């Protein structure tokens, strides 16, 4: 999420999904299986288990999943290397399009002091208001009382 703001380049989404799913499956295959084994009564910190206890198959699954969990970091490192060398430059302030706080209102990567002058804050989502003024105007119309005649978004409020 923060990578384009730090570096000014986008990570490869396909490699990101591969990293996520291998990490997700590896983590849950390791630790959820260990939780199930503990709930079934497997004692902790034993060097070896009897085959008659019935823990061998699930321990094997947990071991294989732990290797998958360890290998899941490789696509991430490849993604970082590939992005550093060939990554697509970010051309907009907010590559995701829905950032709400001020860090998404400055360029990618941000300049040394972010803003030349302090931005005016009119709501709890200043960057969102900056990038989507039509939605901000509608939100302001909803918050103006029916007897108020403030101009909001080019229309007289309440009419």
Share of the chain above pLDDT 90, in %: 39
Peptide bond into 109 cis (omega under 30): yes
Q: Specify whether the CB–CB gap between 15 and 79 falls below 8 A.
A: yes
Could you give the CA distance from residue 42 to residue 144 in angstroms, rounded to a whole number?
A: 63
Under the banding of pLDDT at 50, 70 and 90, the label for residue 21 is: very high
Are 26 and 58 within 8 A, CB to CB? no
Round to whole Å and give the CA distance between 4 and 95. Answer: 8
Q: By the 8 A CB rule, do 36 and 28 touch? A: no
Residue 128 CA to residue 102 CA, distance in Å, equals: 9
From the list 36, 8, 3, 9, the residue with the least C-alpha distance to 111 is 8
pLDDT of residue 147: 54
Q: What digits encode the pLDDT tens for the residues 55-79? A: 999 999 999 999 999 999 999 999 9
Tallying the residues shown for the chain, one arrives at: 159
Helix axes 73-86, 13-39, angle to 10 degrees: 160
H helical segments located in the chain: 3-7, 13-39, 56-71, 73-86, 126-131, 133-143
Q: What is the pLDDT of residue 157?
A: 47
> Domain residue spans in the chain?
3-89, 102-156
Kindly report the backbone phi and psi dihedral angles of residue 109, in degrees, each rounded to the nearest multiple of 5, phi listed first. Answer: -70, 155
* Per-residue pLDDT at 126: 73
């Amino acid at each position: 999420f923060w990578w384009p703001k730090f570096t000014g380049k986008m990570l490869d989404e396909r490699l990101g999904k591969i990293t996520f799913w291998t990490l997700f499956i590896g983590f849950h295959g390791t630790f959820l299986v260990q939780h199930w084994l503990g709930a079934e009564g497997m004692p902790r910190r034993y060097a070896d288990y009897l085959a008659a206890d019935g823990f061998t198959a699930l321990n094997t699954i947990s071991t294989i999943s732990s290797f998958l969990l360890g290998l899941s970091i490789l696509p991430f490192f490849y993604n970082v290397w590939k992005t550093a060398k060939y990554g697509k430059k970010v051309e907009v302030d907010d590559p995701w399009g829905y950032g709400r706080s001020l860090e998404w209102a400055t360029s990618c990567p941000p300049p040394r002091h972010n803003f030349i002058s302090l931005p005016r804050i009119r709501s709890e989502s200043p960057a969102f208001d900056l990038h989507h003024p039509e939605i901000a105007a509608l939100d302001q119309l909803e918050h103006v009382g029916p007897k108020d005649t403030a101009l909001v978004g080019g229309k007289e409020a309440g009419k």
